[in-house]
């Protein structure tokens, strides 16, 4: 499976000690998720226009930092769906510098739709979306 995202850490990604500033890991997790969607032939535009969701909002995000990373280093970030629920799913992330684990992350996302009263809420995840995203993890 190809990595979801390759990141070359820039000086601006780091704090004054030269270590990656932790919010950047969450940005890279989201970027890796967007890359996973693209690999599946999906985009947020397609999800909205063709599948009827207003989005895939986060309801939980966390990370476990295993090793420090610094500027001029390269990270490979993998993303894959780790659990499917009826209206939500979880995405797991692993970032490596060569073979060394740097961080692991987790997000929970909800399939959100606009309801007849114009509010937004969860709805069952379409089989087409689930199939497309699951197939991308195998390619």
CATH of residue 90:
3.10.129.10
pLDDT digits (tens, 9 = 90+) for 6-22: 999 999 999 999 999 99
CB 113 within 8 A of CB 51: no
* Active-site residue flag, 78: no
Distances (CA, A) of 118 to 26, 54, 58, 113, 124: 30, 11, 20, 9, 18
User: Which among 15, 50, 72, 131 is annotated as catalytic?
Assistant: 15
* Residue that is written with structure tokens 């087409």 in the block: 128
SS3 at position 60: strand
pLDDT digits (tens, 9 = 90+) for 20-76: 999 999 999 999 999 999 999 999 999 999 999 999 999 999 999 999 999 999 999
Domain count, the chain: 1
- HSE of 19 in the Cβ direction (CA atoms, 13 Å)? 7
pLDDT for the residue numbered 135: 82
Full residue range of the structural domain in which residue 93 is found: 5-138
CA distance 134 to 37: 10
């Amino acid at each position: 499976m190809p990595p979801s995202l390759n990141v070359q850490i820039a000086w601006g990604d780091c704090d004054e000690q030269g270590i990656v500033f932790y919010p950047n890991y969450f940005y890279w997790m989201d970027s890796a998720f967007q890359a996973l969607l693209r690999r599946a032939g999906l985009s947020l535009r397609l999800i909205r226009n063709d599948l009827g969701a207003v989005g895939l909002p986060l309801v939980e995000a966390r990370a476990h930092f295993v090793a420090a990373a610094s500027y001029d280093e390269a990270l490979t970030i993998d993303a894959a769906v780790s659990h499917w629920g009826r209206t939500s799913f979880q995405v797991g992330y692993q970032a490596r510098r060569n073979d060394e684990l740097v961080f692991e992350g987790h997000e929970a996302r909800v399939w959100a739709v606009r309801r007849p009263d114009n509010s937004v809420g969860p709805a069952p995840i379409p089989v087409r979306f689930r199939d497309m995203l699951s197939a991308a993890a195998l390619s």
